[in-house]
Amino acid sequence: SSKTFWTTTGMFPQELIIGFPKRVKISKVAIQCYLVRTLRIERSTSKDPVGFQQCVEKDLQHREGQLQMEEFPLPEFEATYLRFIIKSAFDHFVSVHRVMAEGT
């Protein structure tokens, strides 16, 4: 539900890590967020959330009063964990409403 969300504590960078039950192949990542300025997505194939490698970093457009909906088509890669690093924002607090990963 886009009415539920994860919010930052007000300082940056902030990070959110999502783990999968096993290694998966990912071809696209999408995020629905609010007031995020710069976002980096990293991946790890380790059993634990360590050894991350950068996949993409992007400056998002500000949409006053609206959720930002960004898709990141990526060359297919494997991951056990995805780390979303919010490097900067348009305000002191931001929110993440939905994260989707497509693949097998």
List, for residues 7-52, the tens digit of each pLDDT value. 888 889 999 999 999 999 999 999 999 999 999 999 999 999 999 9
Q: What is the pTM of this model?
A: 0.91
In 3D space, the residue among 15, 14, 25 whose CA is nearest the CA of residue 101 turns out to be: 25
With tokens 């989707």, the residue in question is 100
In 3D space, the residue among 64, 63, 66, 40 whose CA is nearest the CA of residue 53 turns out to be: 40
Residue 78 and residue 20 in contact, taking contact as beta carbons nearer than 8 Å: no
pLDDT of residue 41: 96
What Rg, from alpha-carbon coordinates, does the chain have? 13
Q: Domains, the chain, ranges and CATH? A: 14-103 (2.60.120.260)
